[in-house]
Structure 1
Amino acid sequence: MIKRRVHVAAAAIFSDDGGEVLLARRPSTVDQGGLWEFPGGKLAPYETGFEALKRELHEELGLSIERAQPLIRVHHEYADKHILLDVWQVHAFGGEPYGREGQAVRWVPLGELFNYPFPAANLPILRAVMLPTEYLITAEEPDDAAFLTKLERALKEDGIRLVQLRAKTLDEAAYLTRAEKALALCHSYNASLLLNAEPETLEQVDADGVHLTSERLMTLERRPVAQDKWLSASTHDAAQLEQAARIGCDFVTLSPLRTTPTHPDATPLGWHDFQQLVEPAGMPVFALGGMTRHDANHARAVGAQGIASIRDFWR
């Protein structure tokens, strides 16, 4: 049986302070009725995703979009249909949202989103909504004091809220000591810290999650950390992206987008191949490899969650 293909535009609409997102409840009379969702609807013939988004938000919520940006595209297989969720992050809008079709709408704090029942296809959207657009990977620093000074500058001055502690030159004891200090500093700025280490390291340092190397990723048969911890991984090709999805990674980095001094022999993906790999990934993907803040909008336009970087964030 050939499945129906349904293309839906949906919106992650944030409050002015970015701390809440708008949800709508599906009517009880429709498929998956009673569940909560990100507002939107099906594309009409010949509409683009953005055109459908503008029309649907006006019809459903009485809103006019003033500024929006692609967030994530999610392909999901149900028993009777294939659905593509074309999700946009709405940065500015006109009007006060209300349920013009009688549906319940509610502003929900980001930390409470997982308390709401959603259709299965919405899980990657929840992750994308909760993640920032910049992912700092720390550089090698032999001195803890210098390391913490640079980390605090990134947190305080640049507003970094997602950090991966990468320190391959430290022995285990020194890494654990640095991890404890970095965790305290990150939490003082409401930032999350992921350890670039074996998953079991979380038993010694209660960080916010773990980042897997691509080599470690390919050896796993199941998700190695609890659901309340972030799990990310380094990926470089379609096979690694598929493995990340299989074991339940929350997000990944995909590299190298460009040639970098640290990996001069690696073949860069370029924007076209990057986009082709991101489209079916089914999870937030950070572009890595020669990225700077000047690339952020381009990365979002081709489907990335944002950019990951060492050099541009670690000055």
Structure 2
Amino acid sequence: MPTPAAPKPFLHVMAAVMHDADGRVLLAQRPAGKHLAGMWEFPGGKLEPGETPVAALARELREELGVTLQHAEPLIRVPRHDLERELLLDTWQTERWEGTPQSLEGQALQWLPPAQIDPATLAPADRAILQALRLPHRYPITPAEVRPDQRDAWFERIGRAIEHGAQLVQLRLPLWPREHVHELAAALLPLARRCGAQLLLNGDVDGALALGTGVQLKSTQLAAMSERPLPPWQLVGASCHGAGELAQAAGIGADFATLSPVAATRSHPQIPPLGWSRFHALAEAAPLPVYALGGMAPSHIAQARQCSGQGAAGIREFWR
């Protein structure tokens, strides 16, 4: 019988997203001679045996940057599997520390707003951290029953939502001719861009390419794809229902996923809900930000965040 393969070494790495008063975050460049030399990453280092994550993070920031961590909160856990090892990048964010960060280990440092960071310059595992920083916790989706004759009312409704802080909105309008959806998106885009919001079309890759919006891939589309359908500056979301689809979404380079149904829904009462425990396990194991979807309301955002989610996505309750 063949000898079983030895288990890969497991590396638990802490990373810190440090926010300054100007909304910038700190990046460190991997020095020459190290793996991925020259690429930028969020500062941190290995969790040592017996350490808690917060204690390890505080130690790494003290040793690497000469600062004393005062408070930090979880942001995202990014697992990565390669040929040599299993890596977990356990990422926390903070606005509170004592001292001025300085390079104590010879690495270059830079402060940048998240919107100005080029993902291609980051170490691969750190790119999911950047997406988690850029994405909001609330993701409203237009109701499927909206009719074409309600166009003006929904143009105003979506516009008001964007003006009041909605940063990510999916146009899911299955009763509309596709060209009418494109017209609505084109009319909303100037406001969205002024307000720093992103519009996503449901399943319409060609329309997204033409308009410069993002796209939310249907699960059937996702299953048939082998690569990312849009350039890096246009968001790609993926509709997922389990671990296999989440892995496929990460494999094609999607920016985030929705995972559903977390709770029972009126639209699909025959589908058993995942529940929060299962959602937590799947979101924690996914190497990209994951929104809870299905029976969600804005009041569920905190629960989703506690269960390793990016936040909550929803339909009817998100437009009340």
TM-score (normalised: structure 1): 0.90
Structure 2 equivalent of residue 155 of structure 1: 162
Structure 1 equivalent of residue 188 of structure 2: 182
Structure 2 equivalent of residue 61 of structure 1: 65
Instruction: State the distance in 2 between where 1:94 and 1:147 align.
Output: 48
What is the DSSP-based 3-state SS (H/G/I as helix, E as strand, rest coil) of the residue aligned with 2:285? coil
What is the DSSP-based 3-state SS (H/G/I as helix, E as strand, rest coil) of the residue aligned with 1:218? helix
Answer yes or no: is 1:260 the counterpart of 2:260.
Answer: no
Instruction: State the distance in 1 between where 2:94 and 2:142 align.
Output: 30
Structure 1 equivalent of residue 277 of structure 2: 272
Verify the 8 A CA contact 1:233 1:251 in the aligned structure 2.
yes
What is the DSSP-based 3-state SS (H/G/I as helix, E as strand, rest coil) of the residue aligned with 2:224? coil
Counterpart AA for 2:137 = T
Shift in CA distance, 229/29, structure 1 to aligned 2, threshold 3 Å = same
What is the DSSP-based 3-state SS (H/G/I as helix, E as strand, rest coil) of the residue aligned with 1:87? strand
Q: CA RMSD in A?
A: 2.2
Match among 83, 89, 95 for residue 85 of structure 1: 89
TM-score (normalised: structure 2): 0.89
Verify the 8 A CA contact 1:7 1:86 in the aligned structure 2.
yes
Verify the 8 A CA contact 2:203 2:221 in the aligned structure 1.
no
Match among 237, 247, 250 for residue 255 of structure 2: 250
Instruction: State the distance in 2 between where 1:174 and 1:105 align.
Output: 48
Counterpart AA for 1:161 = Q
How far does residue 115 in structure 1 lie from its aligned partner after superposition?
A: 6.4
How far does residue 305 in structure 1 lie from its aligned partner after superposition?
A: 1.4
Answer yes or no: is 1:171 the counterpart of 2:184.
Answer: no
Match among 189, 192, 201 for residue 195 of structure 1: 201
Instruction: State the distance in 1 between where 2:197 and 2:293 align.
Output: 20
Shift in CA distance, 4/96, structure 1 to aligned 2, threshold 3 Å = same
Answer yes or no: is 1:120 the counterpart of 2:124.
Answer: yes
Verify the 8 A CA contact 1:154 1:313 in the aligned structure 2.
no
Match among 22, 32, 41 for residue 28 of structure 1: 32
Structure 2 equivalent of residue 236 of structure 1: 241
Match among 215, 231, 249 for residue 210 of structure 1: 215
Verify the 8 A CA contact 1:70 1:300 in the aligned structure 2.
no
Verify the 8 A CA contact 1:36 1:116 in the aligned structure 2.
no
How far does residue 212 in structure 1 lie from its aligned partner after superposition?
A: 0.9
How far does residue 204 in structure 1 lie from its aligned partner after superposition?
A: 3.7
Counterpart AA for 1:35 = M
Instruction: State the distance in 1 between where 2:30 and 2:272 align.
Output: 46
Match among 54, 73, 78 for residue 74 of structure 1: 78
Shift in CA distance, 169/279, structure 1 to aligned 2, threshold 3 Å = same
Shift in CA distance, 246/30, structure 1 to aligned 2, threshold 3 Å = closer
How far does residue 116 in structure 1 lie from its aligned partner after superposition?
A: 6.2
Counterpart AA for 1:304 = G
Instruction: State the distance in 1 between where 2:50 and 2:221 align.
Output: 44
Shift in CA distance, 154/17, structure 1 to aligned 2, threshold 3 Å = farther
What is the DSSP-based 3-state SS (H/G/I as helix, E as strand, rest coil) of the residue aligned with 1:234? strand
Q: After superposition, what is the alpha-carbon deviation per residue over 1:202-248, rounded to whole angstroms, capped at 9, x for unaligned?
A: 244222x1111112222323322223321111111122212222322
What is the DSSP-based 3-state SS (H/G/I as helix, E as strand, rest coil) of the residue aligned with 1:141? coil
Gaps of 5+ in 2: 1-5
Deviates more, 1:5-14 or 1:237-246: 237-246
Counterpart AA for 2:49 = P
Structure 2 equivalent of residue 282 of structure 1: 287
Q: After superposition, what is the alpha-carbon deviation per residue over 1:235-266, rounded to whole angstroms, capped at 9, x for unaligned?
A: 11122212222322111100111112233222
Verify the 8 A CA contact 1:36 1:118 in the aligned structure 2.
yes
What is the DSSP-based 3-state SS (H/G/I as helix, E as strand, rest coil) of the residue aligned with 1:3? coil
How far does residue 87 in structure 1 lie from its aligned partner after superposition?
A: 0.8
Verify the 8 A CA contact 1:9 1:52 in the aligned structure 2.
yes
Deviates more, 1:266-275 or 1:148-157: 148-157
Answer yes or no: is 1:109 the counterpart of 2:113.
Answer: yes
